[in-house]
Chain A
Amino acid sequence: DQQVKQNSPSLSVQEGRISILNCDYTNSMFDYFLWYKKYPAEGPTFLISISSIKDKNEDGRFTVFLNKSAKHLSLHIVPSQPGDSAVYFCAATEGYGGSQGNLIFGKGTKLSVKP
């Protein structure tokens, strides 16, 4: 039973437009959420995170929104660039503020940004 779900395996966006990647979770004990980006043959790279006490966190072109009541989060990339083409993983964990322990990952969404 997947606790973190990314229902879109792939997404294609035109350069300069907004990319929106979605993630749903089922475990109400999760209180810290992260997005990782992964290029082929490399490990996941941390992108941005959000704790459950917030509903939005922004870092440059990347913004993560958290809707706790819907158990849903999304990553917005504006404007999208061809270099953003990668697989994006949503991850969640309990125990923010202490040791994170293990991350629970979704299956990923492959983003393609076309010039």
Chain B
Amino acid sequence: GAGVSQTPSNKVTEKGKYVELRCDPISGHTALYWYRQSLGQGPEFLIYFQGTGAADDSGLPNDRFFAVRPEGSVSTLKIQRTERGDSAVYLCASSSPPGGGGTDTQYFGPGTRLTVL
């Protein structure tokens, strides 16, 4: 079946602009995660959704970052007033909790490479 998909694959924007990054999880996966990976680092957690609600948003670096998942499937990560330090690969992952017959393993998409000039 189809894996996690993310669009766009690359996004170049100017400092101060607003961007939206989209994630389509694996069908039926109720949990969705956003991570950010900077050069030379491992992925860093941003936010986690269980269904439509954000179960844990402790990784969002500041209030310029916001994410939604209005229907419990597709999620959008929104970054306002982008800064050069926001440049990174933004990864999305989804999982199916063990109670629903899943393994809770997080499966990642290919990421969106964001470059802020």
Chain A interface (Cβ < 8 Å from any Cβ of B): 4, 6, 34, 36, 41-46, 49, 89, 91, 96-108
Task: Check A46 against B106 for contact (C-beta < 8 Å).
Answer: yes
* A to B CB contacts below 8 Å, 15 in the list: A34-B106, A43-B93, A43-B110, A44-B91, A46-B108, A49-B105, A99-B104, A101-B48, A102-B45, A102-B56, A102-B59, A103-B106, A105-B42, A105-B44, A107-B42
- Residues on the B chain within 8 Å of A103, using CB: 33, 35, 43, 45, 106
Q: How far is the CB of A53 from chain B (nearest CB, A)?
A: 15
Is B55's beta carbon under 8 Å from chain A? yes
CB 8 Å contact bits of B15-46 with A (1 = contact, 0 = none): 00000000000000001010100001111110
- Residues on the A chain within 8 Å of B97, using CB: 98-99
Task: Check B42 against A108 for contact (C-beta < 8 Å).
Answer: yes
**A42 CA to B45 CA in the complex, in Å?**
18
**A59 CA to B106 CA in the complex, in Å?**
18
Is B75's beta carbon under 8 Å from chain A? no
Task: Check A89 against B42 for contact (C-beta < 8 Å).
Answer: yes
- B105 partner, pick from A43, A46, A97, beta carbons under 8 A: A46
**A34 CA to B104 CA in the complex, in Å?**
12
Give how many B residues have a beta carbon under 8 Å from the other chain's beta carbons: 29
Task: Check B104 against A44 for contact (C-beta < 8 Å).
Answer: no
Interface centre among A36, A43, A46, A103 (most CB of B within 10 A): A43
- Residues on the A chain within 8 Å of B45, using CB: 102-104
**A99 CA to B97 CA in the complex, in Å?**
6
Q: How far is the CB of B55 from chain A (nearest CB, A)?
A: 7
- Residues on the B chain within 8 Å of A49, using CB: 105
Task: Check A102 against B108 for contact (C-beta < 8 Å).
Answer: no
- B106 partner, pick from A6, A96, A100, beta carbons under 8 A: A100
Task: Check B107 against A105 for contact (C-beta < 8 Å).
Answer: no
Task: Check B105 against A44 for contact (C-beta < 8 Å).
Answer: no
- Residues on the A chain within 8 Å of B4, using CB: 43
**A105 CA to B41 CA in the complex, in Å?**
9
**A97 CA to B102 CA in the complex, in Å?**
11
